[in-house]
Structure 1
Amino acid sequence: MHLLRRCDTGDFSLTQFSAKAIPSYAILSHTWGVDTEEVTFEDLTNGTGKSKLGYENIRFCGEHATQDGLEWL
C-alpha cells in the first residue's frame, strides 16, 4: 500500500508499506473531476501536479489528518 505523508514544508512524500506494517492513516473521499485536473500516481512520484485542481483536495486532507494527529493519508 502506498501512503502520503505531509512534510513540514507542506509538500507530500509517497511511501510504500507492506501489508504487515501499515500505519494508521486518513482517507480522502473524492469526487473525480476532469482528467487533466486530477493528480495521478505519476504526478506524486515525480513531484508534479501541484498546479492541478485535484492537488488542493490532497492538501486539504493532509491538513486535516495532521489536525487529527495522523501522519499518513
Structure 2
Amino acid sequence: MPCPTTCTQPTPAQAHCSVCHHTFGGVTGFDSHRRDGTCLDPATLGFVQRDGVWRAPMSDDARERFARLNTHTED
C-alpha cells in the first residue's frame, strides 16, 4: 500500500514503517516499535517526534557528550 502524502519521507539513515507510516530516526527505533507483528505507538514508548520523525530521547549522559562535541571554541 502506498504511503499517504502526509508521510515524512525518510533519509537513507532513517526507517519508515509501511504499516503505520511512522518515520523513525533509525532502524533501532523502528525495530523497537514492532512487537509480535504489531506496531506500537511511539509516544507510549517514550519517543519524541521532531520534524515528523520519531526519535528516542537522549539520556542525560548522551546529551552532555553531544553538547561537549558540539561546543565551538574560538582561538
Give TM-score, length-normalised by structure 1.
Answer: 0.25
More strand by share: 2
Q: Report which structure shows greater RCO (CA 8 Å, sep ≥6).
A: 1
TM-score by length of 2: 0.25
Larger gyration radius, structure 1 or structure 2? 2
The structure whose residues are more often helix, as a share, is 1
